[in-house]
Amino acid sequence: MAEDGHIEISEDIRELSFEAALAELETIVDRLERGDVALEASIEIYQRGSQLRAYCNEKLRDAQMRIEKISDGGASAQPLDEE
């Protein structure tokens, strides 16, 4: 993790598509939830999972900004109806 609290994302993760990163993150979550991974391996895959989560969040934010820009820049994010 960088000094400012942001997670540094490795280059191999940055080369993944959003879908590939999400699939790998889901696999990591499954492995950790099963609890059949040794402690050191758990820490390593948890760290990779944190990077994947940060990368997926970054990709989603970028996509949202692109959509707003396509909508003439006048569109703003609004919550769905709360019924």
Q: Closest by alpha carbon to 14, among 59, 80, 78, 49?
A: 59
Q: H helices within the chain, ranges in order?
A: 11-14, 18-34, 39-70
pLDDT at residue 35 in the model: 92
pLDDT at residue 30 in the model: 97
Q: Closest by alpha carbon to 28, among 65, 6, 56?
A: 56
Q: What is the pLDDT of residues 11-58, one digit of tens each?
A: 999 999 999 999 999 999 999 999 999 999 999 999 999 999 999 999
Q: What is the pLDDT of residues 63-79, one digit of tens each?
A: 999 998 888 665 556 66
